[in-house]
Structure 1
Amino acid sequence: MRDVNADSQKVVPPPPPPSPPPATGTVLGRLAVPAGVLAAVAGAFAYVGAVDPNEPGHYPVCPLLRYTGVYCPGCGGLRSAHAFIHGDFLTALQDNAAAVVAYLGFAVLWTVWVVRAVRGRPLRVDVGPVHLWTFGALLLVFTVVRNLPFGGWLHP
């Protein structure tokens, strides 16, 4: 005679976790959001490329620079974008080097997003506290250096 309790005591391993399902819908449907983001960014760059920020009166002045004389990390960003659009990359770097790095970072991230969308996989950006603190520290160093006398080459 068989012992029923002996069979019920067998250890059955849990099933493996399911892999994330591929995105449903067509490729064009999965590309709609990245295309919309690209259209918004391209529209903003087109506007800045057409309306020169080097001419006074087109854009508001940075309030931090106006009231304290301190360059914020974004100071020169519009001039940098204008120069970048017109292919003057050295001027773009001088106007705001951090912004140029951000433009290139956006291009890389957007390309990865599109490739993953075509393959039916979601974009996963795992930004942990260490990454955020490092980014913040680099931005702080950039801001401090561009406001010191030896950092004049970083002034917009």
Structure 2
Amino acid sequence: MAGVVAAFAYVGTVDPNAPGHYPVCPLLHYTGLYCPGCGGLRSAHAFVHGDFLTAFHDNALAVVGYPLFAVLWVVWMLRAARGRPVRIELQPVHLWILVPLLLIFTVVRNLPFGGWLHP
């Protein structure tokens, strides 16, 4: 948890919109296509600063993932504190939902009508 908090604190402090602080996405650099993670740092920066609309615009999938990750982390910590098994396993149905969701998000954000999903 300390690592996640430290990473968010760093991204909140060092603006990814300023050039030279973070590397460029290789897929975007070489192909001009946005990957599912493109805009993730800008999204995290805006999220830390409470600008949720900008965070959602920069990477909608990441903004949905932040609270989901936090909830899963709290569930994991509570189960560990109570001495219960601490395993959260992905079932095949979860992967069958997650992979197409990532693919659809990636394709839509690279199509002309998906411009609102560009970081």
Bin for the TM-score computed over the shorter chain? over 0.9
TM-score (norm 2): 0.96
Which residue of the partner structure matches residue 53 of structure 1?
Answer: 16
Which residue of the partner structure matches residue 118 of structure 2?
Answer: 155
- What amino acid is the match of 1:75? C
Structure 1 gap segments, 5+ residues each: 1-37
Higher helix share: 2
Which residue of the partner structure matches residue 14 of structure 1?
Answer: none
Q: CA–CA distance in 2 between the matches of 1:125 and 1:98? A: 21
- Local SS of the residue matching 2:80: helix
Q: CA–CA distance in 2 between the matches of 1:118 and 1:134? A: 30
Structure 2 gap segments, 5+ residues each: none
CA RMSD, aligned part only? 0.9
State the aligned residue count: 119
Identical positions, percent: 76
Q: CA–CA distance in 1 between the matches of 2:89 and 2:69? A: 16
- Local SS of the residue matching 2:63: helix
- Local SS of the residue matching 2:24: coil
1:45 positional shift: 0.5
2:89 to 123, 126, 131: 126
- Local SS of the residue matching 1:120: coil
**Aligned runs of 1:7-22 on 2, under 5 Å?**
none
Q: CA–CA distance in 1 between the matches of 2:103 and 2:67? A: 20
Is 1:67–2:30 an aligned residue pair? yes
TM-score (norm 1): 0.74
Q: CA–CA distance in 2 between the matches of 1:73 and 1:99? A: 9
Which residue of the partner structure matches residue 7 of structure 1?
Answer: none
